[in-house]
Amino acid sequence: MIRTTLIPALVFAMLGSLGMVSGASAASVEPSCCAPKPVECCAPPCISYRDHHKLFARKCGSCAPPVKMVMVVEKPCTNCAFEVPVCVPACCEGAPTVCSHPGILGRTVVEYEWCCGFRIRMVFTRCGDLIVHSYY
């Protein structure tokens, strides 16, 4: 019985002498497991772009320059959202259809296709980088 009452008293006395406890009971000292955990920072991936042009593809009837867009994409392994800048032909109107599927070598592929025939294929590599393919 002496052993169980003496150990908490010694711990409380040591904490009080170190200035960690001032007039509080030993029960009010918060253990480290209850402390809030830091949130991981989601770093944006390294993005590379590859353009693919078809030989006999129909082009837009407009001579307008491409429209710059920013697409918000979620990284599969971390579920962190980040922005990917892309250029879309001026004739593409409306929202694209979106299709996501697993690719080869453990990659995740997300495809965006507009009704004008323009297509963007985003390939997330296993190491977290992103390759953006655009097809005219």
Note the pLDDT tens digit of each residue in 102-111.
988 889 999 9
Give CB contacts under 8 A, 24+ apart, made by 28-33: none
| pLDDT tens digits, one per residue of 54-103 | 765 566 666 788 889 999 888 877 778 889 999 998 888 889 999 999 98
The pLDDT, as a whole number, for residue 12 is: 47
Matching residue, tokens 């979106």 = 98
Residue with tokens 């320059």: 65
C-alpha to C-alpha distance for 54 and 116, rounded to whole angstroms: 14
What tens digit of pLDDT does each residue of 19-63 get?
A: 554 444 445 455 555 545 444 557 778 999 999 877 655 666 667
Q: Are 124 and 48 in contact (CB under 8 A)?
A: no
pTM of the predicted structure, to 2 decimals: 0.65
Tokens of 5: 């009452």
Secondary structure class of 72 (helix, strand, coil): strand
Collapsed DSSP state (helix, strand, coil) of residue 47: strand
Which position has the token pair 């299709």? 99
Using the predicted structure, report yes or no on whether residue 18 has a pLDDT greater than 80.
Answer: no
Give the per-residue pLDDT at 44: 79
Full DSSP string of 90-111: TT--SPPEEEEEE-GGG-EEEE
CB atoms inside a 10 Å sphere around CB 45: 20
